[in-house]
Structure 1
Amino acid sequence: MKNIILNKGKDKAAWQLHPWVFSGAIKRIDGAPDNGDVVTVFNAENEFIAFGLFHDSSRVAVRLLEWHPDQQINEQWWRKRIQKAVEARRHLLIEGKNDTARLIFAEADFVPGLIVDKYADYISIQVHAAGVERIKDVVIDELNKLLSPKGIYERSDLKSREHEGLPDTNGLLFGELPPEFVEIIENGIRYQVNIIDGQKSGFYCDQRENRALTAQYVKGKKVLDCFCYSGGFTLNAFHEGAASVTSVDSSALAIETLRRNILLNGYSEEAHVAIQSDVNKQLKVFAEEQQKFDVIVLDPPKYAPSRSSLERASRAYKDLNRRGLLLLESGGLLATFSCSSAMDIDTFKQVLAWAALDAGKEIQFIRQFHQPDDHPVRASFPEGEYLKGLLVRVI
């Protein structure tokens, strides 16, 4: 047996079903487990707590999997976890309306270290943990049985793999290589997604519901979509009758893909302006030009990857939102987001209040945004709640 014995008083989180055991909580390791091995975790009184995946050089030394001592972590266990996660998303896949969803969301689905996204007939996966790397063939086989995709492509080019001693791995795992652009449908809108070279696993399906909700406010309005990527908020805005949309992103590939998606859906090119630029610099240019917008979307990348960076990130969020608010008149709307799990919603509201104060604006919070149900949050793992947003009205 390969056992992990925790220090006295360091077992509370594990008893409460939190999936991470940090290295500092470990008193003793018995049996010399290799990285990626399944280990049994006990408290200081030698009481069973859970089974988990071990790694000696990661800050998260054990990723807990199963809290029932009569279960075996074998191939069938993994297959059942994958089946359960996929079946929980079936309702999201509606022919002609939506063929894209996150199928497995790591710890939230009790499969730590594994992300699986479905894009039409193709599947994109990311592996974060050495233990999951070992059973990758089982994952691929089960996904093939459940969904019969044309191809399964791996995008495991993640910084987190360094901590697990894993090299970057990108490539085809099953079936056909995805074309340069895979056509998908989300909210009844068509997109061309680059699975091989695009950001993350190819697309940000975590904003599916928030795009549709924000678009309810844009009919006949002048819209600014910042950090637009492939045009999720832009296309939803046109779908709901926006008079014009200006889209800004620093990525040339993002702007190219966005333009493709505008044409794909038959929206007016004359009503759309695409700008490749740093967003903060471009917001400053708009202010100097005395431009104003009716609705602004700010969907930046992760500014706070950890709690230690929260103070610096708060300043960055404040400055970004201040610049956005300066471009809105009374009655204007700001849809603003944070994908940093370290930034909770109360802190984000405070940041917006500071931004409004600095901009000389009075604001109201009129809607709160969340990640959708294919990105669930386990009650025992609040860290899984990373995406939050606010719809703000300038008074």
Structure 2
Amino acid sequence: MIDVVLKKGKEKAVHQKHPWIFSGAIDKVKGNPLNGEVIRVLAADQSFLGYGYYNGQSRVAVRLLEWEEDNIIDKAWYHSRLKNAIASRAHLLSDLETNTCRLVFSEADYLPGLIVDKYADYLSLQILSAGMENVKAELIEILIAELNPVGIFDKSDANARTHENLEVSQGLLWGATPPEFIEVKENGVRYHINIADGQKSGFYCDQRDNREILAAYTKDKEVLDCFCYSGGFTLNSLKHGAKHVTSVDSSALAIETLKHNLGLNGFMEHQQTSIQSDVNKQLRSFKEDGKTFDVIILDPPKYAPSRSALDRAARAYKDLNRLGMLLLKSGGILATYSCSGAVDLETFKQIIAWAALDAGREVQIIKQFHQPEDHPIRISFPEGEYLKGLLLRVL
């Protein structure tokens, strides 16, 4: 096994179980490891630190897998890690009201670069590191043995693969080809989702808890759901008795899927309005028309994919939330979210404060939103915390 030796004093983060080693922390590489090859990491004094995937083309040169020298990285090791991740979701898998969740969440489950989502009887696989790509066949074999899915579909189409010198990959990996629509349940709400053509892995299961929390505030209310995608917040609001929901998304596929899901759950046309439009433009149009709402949901895509985009993202979040506040009735509820890992909760609160000041509205924080338990956050890897949100009362 090839040894990667760290510079003196650079072993502290490894001892603290942080899974990333940046290229600048490496003193020397004893050999020529291939991208994704498992290597041994040593401190400057040659003491053992861990095993990890090496990638000489990535800023994150090593993704650590194991800190115990006696634990060899082989098929049995992957099987154990996958079994542990699946077992930790056992209570979610047995929930009769929900049959979709995240089974593996990359570094949080000690499997860097691997994401597995369950959609009813199908699995969606995202591989984002060269190391996991090298053992894809073994991973599929283990998932089949543990879960007996009808099919496994590859959704490894994220930009992160380019940093690992990997081409995007999408298509059937094993079993039956998913139908045009797979029916899943979440919180008792039914969805038809399209794994092959949908965004990311097909469905945003990271908002499961937040949809139900927010829905409790929508009974008999006029609701505006922005960036609605396939209708998670819209459908939960209608289920909890919203008077009317207006849903806005720029994607024609999202609006088409939402309309399909409305019929699937038996909601009537007079209960909901779908608008395909740029959200910011639509919010300005509502303002010009004097339209107001009791509850507004802002769940935009990732505005800050990295820290270098933070300033631009902050301006975008501020303008979006300012427009939302201007459309709320006095005492109305604003549920606002950020899925940008580069924007921490305190920064997000400051952005909301700026938006409130510009809108001339006073705001109270009444709840804070987080990612659900199937998207755990390792205490040694705070970078895994990406989803945050605020439930606000706008006065």
TM-score, normalised with respect to structure 1: 0.99
Structure 1: distance between partners of 2:75 and 2:271: 54
Residue of structure 1 in register with 2:212 after alignment: 212
303-312 vs 278-287, which moves further: 303-312
Residue of structure 1 in register with 2:280 after alignment: 280
Q: Deviations over 1:339-394 (max 9, x none)?
A: 01111111101100100000000000000000000000000000000000000001
AA of the residue aligned to 1:70 = D
Structure 2: distance between partners of 1:264 and 1:204: 18
AA of the residue aligned to 2:246 = T
State the SS of the aligned residue for 2:69. coil
TM-score, normalised with respect to structure 2: 0.99
User: How far 1:21 sits from its partner (Å)?
Assistant: 0.5
State the SS of the aligned residue for 2:269. coil
Does 1:60 find its partner at 2:60?
yes
Does 1:122 find its partner at 2:128?
no
AA of the residue aligned to 2:82 = I
Structure 2: distance between partners of 1:297 and 1:71: 47
Residue of structure 2 in register with 1:382 after alignment: 382
AA of the residue aligned to 1:149 = P
Structure 1: distance between partners of 2:316 and 2:83: 41
34-43 vs 212-221, which moves further: 34-43
Structure 1: distance between partners of 2:102 and 2:145: 17
AA of the residue aligned to 2:263 = L
User: How far 1:307 sits from its partner (Å)?
Assistant: 1.2
User: How far 1:166 sits from its partner (Å)?
Assistant: 0.9
Structure 2: distance between partners of 1:252 and 1:96: 31
Aligned length: 395
Residue of structure 1 in register with 2:91 after alignment: 91
Residue of structure 1 in register with 2:72 after alignment: 72
State the SS of the aligned residue for 1:77. helix
Gaps of 5+ in 1: none
Gaps of 5+ in 2: none
Residue of structure 1 in register with 2:140 after alignment: 140
Residue of structure 1 in register with 2:110 after alignment: 110
309-318 vs 253-262, which moves further: 309-318
State the SS of the aligned residue for 1:392. strand
Does 1:358 find its partner at 2:363?
no
User: How far 1:95 sits from its partner (Å)?
Assistant: 4.9
User: How far 1:121 sits from its partner (Å)?
Assistant: 0.6
Structure 2: distance between partners of 1:329 and 1:241: 19
User: How far 1:243 sits from its partner (Å)?
Assistant: 0.2
Residue of structure 2 in register with 1:312 after alignment: 312
Does 1:330 find its partner at 2:322?
no
Q: CA RMSD in A?
A: 0.7
Structure 2: distance between partners of 1:168 and 1:61: 20
User: How far 1:146 sits from its partner (Å)?
Assistant: 1.2
Does 1:180 find its partner at 2:180?
yes
State the SS of the aligned residue for 1:336. strand
User: How far 1:48 sits from its partner (Å)?
Assistant: 1.0
Residue of structure 1 in register with 2:37 after alignment: 37
Structure 2: distance between partners of 1:28 and 1:92: 45
Does 1:265 find its partner at 2:244?
no
Q: Percent identity?
A: 61
State the SS of the aligned residue for 1:228. coil
State the SS of the aligned residue for 1:270. helix
Structure 1: distance between partners of 2:203 and 2:94: 18
Structure 2: distance between partners of 1:314 and 1:165: 30
Structure 1: distance between partners of 2:94 and 2:20: 35
AA of the residue aligned to 2:5 = I
Structure 2: distance between partners of 1:328 and 1:19: 43
Residue of structure 1 in register with 2:232 after alignment: 232
State the SS of the aligned residue for 1:56. coil
